[in-house]
């Protein structure tokens, strides 16, 4: 069996900008071939590495080349796993179950790129990816920052808040939080955030109904209770989706914050 993180295939993928080259990468995780997109600045040089963890499940919320290119244009090599079972990858998307290893091992994909500084690695998770990003921060000591953007951090709260997702969560996770306590608890990063050593940046809209603002507050409170470094950007006027102009400003703000963490 090939070791976790081994890259077994890469091929050209259309890029939305001439300033960024994108490849589809296939790598091994837990004996499975998992796929993702790798975006790199065209300009020669060495760059910080960024693991981008998508939201949604299966085809919903899949990785968008334009999104990862936004970060690549700001001086990052970006790797965004599709997660197992998606886009031709092997295995089954388990919604923050064993598939969180796809993110944890994704750091190894970045480390193999010759244009990446291996001591300047970051992770950002959007929506469902917020919980995945927390687990990467819990599992790895070689990252400089964790950003949770409109991110889920409380799996049980998500089940209660999102009636439209309950059928999927019952099918994928197995039953309800009351009937299968362990499966939900095992996915929930909140009780393990004391193990995160990197600073955490929480970005969340106060009007978010996809992932409640309360989840961001609980994550912040738990991190502060554990004396962790926490930074917050709370957006009073916005929900889960940020308008294009404000989104560009936020990408600039969060990437500058990441760069500052490298100087510490």
Residue positions annotated with a catalytic role: 127, 240
| Beta strand residue intervals within the chain, DSSP E | 7-13, 20-29, 32-41, 47-53, 76-81, 116-126, 145-149, 200-205, 230-235
Residue 3: Cβ within 10 Å count: 8
Q: Which two tokens stand for residue 165?
A: 């997702």
Start-to-end Cα distance in the chain = 39
Task: Read off the DSSP letter of residue 57.
Answer: B
Phi, psi of 10 (to 5 degrees): -150, 140
């Amino acid at each position: 069996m090939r070791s976790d993180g081994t890259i077994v295939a890469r091929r050209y993928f259309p890029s939305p900008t001439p300033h960024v080259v994108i490849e589809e990468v296939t790598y091994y995780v837990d004996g499975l071939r998992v796929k993702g997109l790798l975006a790199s600045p065209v300009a020669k040089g060495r760059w910080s590495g960024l693991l981008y963890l998508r939201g949604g499940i299966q085809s919903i919320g899949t990785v968008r080349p334009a999104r990862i290119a936004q970060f690549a244009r700001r001086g990052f090599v970006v790797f965004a796993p599709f997660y197992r079972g998606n886009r031709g990858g092997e295995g089954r998307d388990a919604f923050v179950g064993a598939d969180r290893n796809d993110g944890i091992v994704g750091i190894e994909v970045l480390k193999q790129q010759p244009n990446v500084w291996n001591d300047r690695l970051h992770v950002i998770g959007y929506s469902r990816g917020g919980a995945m990003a927390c687990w990467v921060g819990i599992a790895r000591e070689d990252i400089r920052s964790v950003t949770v953007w409109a991110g889920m951090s409380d799996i049980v709260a998500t089940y209660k808040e999102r009636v439209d997702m309950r059928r999927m969560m019952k099918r994928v996770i197995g039953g309800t939080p009351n009937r299968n306590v362990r499966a939900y608890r095992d996915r929930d990063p909140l009780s393990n955030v004391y193990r995160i050593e990197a600073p955490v940046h929480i970005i969340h809209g106060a009007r978010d109904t996809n992932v409640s603002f309360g989840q961001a507050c609980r994550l912040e409170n738990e991190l502060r209770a554990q004396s962790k470094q926490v930074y917050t950007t709370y957006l009073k006027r916005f929900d889960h989706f940020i308008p294009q102009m404000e989104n560009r400003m936020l990408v600039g703000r969060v990437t500058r914050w990441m760069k500052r963490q490298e100087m510490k």
